[in-house]
Structure formats: structure tokens, C-alpha cells
Amino acid sequence: MKKTRWILGVVLTALAAFTSIAVTRPGVAKAGDQPSSAEVKIDNFSFGPTTLTVAAGRTVTWKNNDDVPHTVVSDNKVFKSKALDTDDKFSYTFTKPGTYNYFCSVHPKMVAKIVVQ
Amino acid sequence: MSDYIKDNLNKDGIDRRGFLKCMAWVGTGTLCVLKGGVLKSYALSDVMQHKVGDFKGDLSFVQISDSHIGFNKAANPDVTATLREAIAKVNALPTPPSFVLHTGDLTHLSKPSEFDTLAESLKSLKTERIFYVPGEHDVLDDNGAMFRERFGQGAMGDGWHSFDRNGIHFVGLVNVMNLKAGGLGSLGTEQLEWLQKDVSGLKSSTPIVLFAHIPLWAVYPQWGWGTDDSEQALSYLKRFGSVTVLNGHIHQTMQKVEGNVTFHTACSTAFPQPQPGQADSPGPMKVPDDKLRQVLGITDVNFVRGNHSLAIVDSTLA
């Protein structure tokens, strides 16, 4: 009984290892070029960087470092955060290539863009 | 140095010295008297000592603004306390205000608990009624639904409304909704059409008071301190002899006279913001604790029947 369980364990571990290599291999090379998620900081009523370029499939996270709430809203409403209080974050995963202009709907002078390649 | 306008070269009721002096008073208290379209500015200290009787009129009301209930950062960790001090200041006025205008940013994050605290605090105001317009902080996430339900009864559209008192026509406008990327405050077509109709039947001699959150003049567009379609709104008011525009948003007093229109912004009851361009951003400004009450305040407005004058008095919480 013990032996059967041991063999089953080995087989499952090997299967899992093989599967994970097979699945993750295409992504490994990309991960070397860029971190898996990118961050936009909100400081002093501005988004930084104002233009961020990422690969399709990437998740971008915004973090509000200001003492006042801001939002992250794309011009064509592809993504829209709730009001972000100090230290709050918002994330969106970009699947389609393109240029995504966005702004803060509370302080619309704050504009920036994400370029997805 | 005199405390009134000596050289009215441009017939706009304000001279350079007066303007600079006015600016120097920011946060210390200013009285501006509008008579026949001419603005006179006085130091509040002079008024309190000698001339307060001159400015009693048939109607007086108070403007408070930018309470930001819920804000708790370094610039003022207890905004409820300073709001209560502002209320005490109003309740101590020699002439109780007929009503109070709150020009927006009642709350910091539009939370129900913040609206609760504001409403509860304002119950102690000794006045008949409080009229509200929303600030951008009052319409987060729900497009102002909660604000309108609680503070906008009887209002139109996004919360705009008008009423008459003692022969003066008051109009509360909403310029914090549906803001466009890269733009400023916005009134929108529907509200502008309503405004045009609202004032169309009035005699040109009717004094008009407009109040809205974001300034209806270009204070500093780089920081969003202005309203994209305010010129359109003001074009409907050109025929009126006396127009007074009361705003908040910029957390400091500032005024300007342009033709028949006097623009005025009020202090916040919560925290100060920097003067235009004097900081990296218009965010809350931390001042030494013992200086905070000098940069917070209320605005008292008196109307004198007969000469159509509105006397605007800013006083700090210090």
C-alpha cells in the first residue's frame, strides 16, 4: 500500500513538472525581458510614466500615492477604476495591442497612455 | 496705504495696488463691497473695528465650502473639528444668515458615513436652510446619486437649481460631472439650456448670484481651476447689472471683477491648497499646526437693497 502511494506520488510529480515546463516555456523568454506586471505611480496629480509600453497580456497596476483620491479611466471606457484613495491600487490586463489613452475623471488634466505591443 | 480702490483706471473697480493687497490678505480676511459694479476692498480688521454697521443689509447669507469630511492626512487630521469651528463662527455672527450655501466637496470620498457626519454637524447651524452644490469629491463612483438623494432635493439634472430671496435670484450650478480627458470643470449642454431659460424672464435689474464648486473663471487652468463652458453661462447674464459668482474648490480666497461680474472663491473649512503655481500640484498643503486656522474660514455676504450691493466678508477660523 505504502509502495503504491510512493509510486503514484513520483508519477504525479513528474507529470506536474513536465506539464509546467511545457506550459510555461513560451513565457519564460518574455519574462526575462520585462517584469510580469508593470506599475504606474500617481504622484502630485500626475501619472508616471505618462507613456508606458507593455507587451500584450501584461497586467498594469496603478498606485495612488497622493493625499487625494484619483481614478484611472480610459478615454473609450475600456477600463475604469473606482476612486482610489491614498495607497489604493487598480490593475488591468491588456490583451489587445493598441494605444490606450486614459485620464483621472476627478482631475481630468491628468492624462497618460499605455501602449500595448 | 489706503484700504480701498483709488485708481479705477479700467473702470473695473480694481487697481493694481488693490489687487496685490487683496492677494496679500489671502487667509487673513477680506471685505469686498460691490456698489454699482465697483468693487471696494477693505481689511477685515478695519471693518471689525469701525465699519461693520455700514455693511448690514436686508439680507445676509454665508458661504461655506470644501469640508472634505473623511480627509485625515497631515494637512488636517481632524476636518470635523474645523467644520464645527466654522459653524460656531457662523453662529456667532452679529446678523444670523438667512441661509447658508455649501459650495461642494462636503465629503472627501463620497462615503455614506462622511455624508452622515456632515449632515449631523450642520444641524447645529443657526439658519433656516442650507443649499448645496456638489464638488468632485461628492460624486465619486456613483455619479452623485447619493449626494442628490440627500442634499439635492428638488434640484434638476445633476443637481442644479435656482431660488429667489429678497429680490435676488440665486442659481446653484454643477460643474463636476462628466469631465472630459484634458478638460476643466464642465456645465454641459443640458444645464446651459436650463440656465438660459431660468434667467430669461428676469428683469435686468435683478441681482444674480451664481454658485458652483469649481471656479467659473480661469483661475489657473494648468491645475484644472476653471470651467470649460463658463463663458457660455456668463453670456446669458450680460444684460444684468449685478452678477456675483461664488465658488470653492481652490481652498483659498481670490476675487476678480470683470464688467458686471464679481467672482469670488471661498476658503475651505478643512485644509488649504497652494497659491496657483506655487507648488508641484494643487494637493492639500501642510502648514504649521498653529497657522492652520488662519487659512481656513467662512464667507459672509450682505445685500443692501436700493443700491444693489453685495458685501462679501471672508473671515478665518483663527
- B46 in Cβ contact with B33 (< 8 Å): no
pLDDT in tens, B165-183: 888 899 999 999 999 999 9
What is the percent of chain B with per-residue pLDDT over 70, rounded to a whole number?
80
Please tell me the predicted confidence (pLDDT) of residue B259: 85
The ipTM is 0.82
Residue of A nearest to B141 (CA): A82
Of A44, A68, A108, the CB nearest to B179: A108
Least confident among A3-17, A95-109, B48-62, B155-169: A3-17
> How does A9-44 read in b/e, with b if 16+ C-beta sit within 10 Å?
eeeeeeeeeeeeeeeeeeeeeeeeeeeeebebebee
Whole-Å CA distances, B48 to A99, B29, B147, B173, B253: 59, 11, 37, 32, 19
* Ramachandran sector of residue B166 (left: φ over 0; alpha: ψ -120 to 50; beta: rest): left
DSSP symbol at A51: E
**For chain B, how big is the Rg over CA atoms in Å?**
18
Encoded amino acid at A44, one letter: N
User: What is the rounded distance in angstroms from the CA atom of residue B103 to the CA atom of residue B229?
Assistant: 18
Residues in chain B closer than 8 A to A69 (CB atoms) = 108-109, 137, 140
Q: The pTM is what?
A: 0.82
Q: Where are the beta strands (DSSP E) in chain A?
A: 37-43, 46-48, 51-54, 59-64, 73-74, 89-93, 98-103, 111-116
Residue of A74, A76, A103, A105 best to disrupt the B interface, most CBs of B under 10 A:
A105
| Binary contact (A108, B282; C-beta < 8 A) | no
Q: Which three cell numbers, joined as nine digits, stand for B62?
A: 454665508
Whole-Å CA distances, B138 to A112, B103, B145, B249: 24, 11, 9, 12
Please tell me the predicted confidence (pLDDT) of residue B89: 85
pLDDT in tens, B253-306: 888 888 888 898 998 999 999 999 999 999 999 999 999 988 898 888 877 665
pLDDT in tens, B70-117: 999 999 999 999 999 999 888 887 778 889 999 999 999 999 999 999
Cis check for the bond before A49: say yes or no (omega within 30 of 0): yes
Query: Rounded to a whole number, what is the distance in Å from the CA of A38 to chain B's nearest CA?
Result: 23
Look at residues B18, B25, B27 and name the one whose alpha carbon lies nearest to residue B273: B27
Q: How far is CA B238 from the centre of its chain?
A: 21
How does strand B297-304 pair with strand B309-316?
antiparallel
| Binary contact (B181, A102; C-beta < 8 A) | yes
A79 touches chain B (CB under 8 A): no
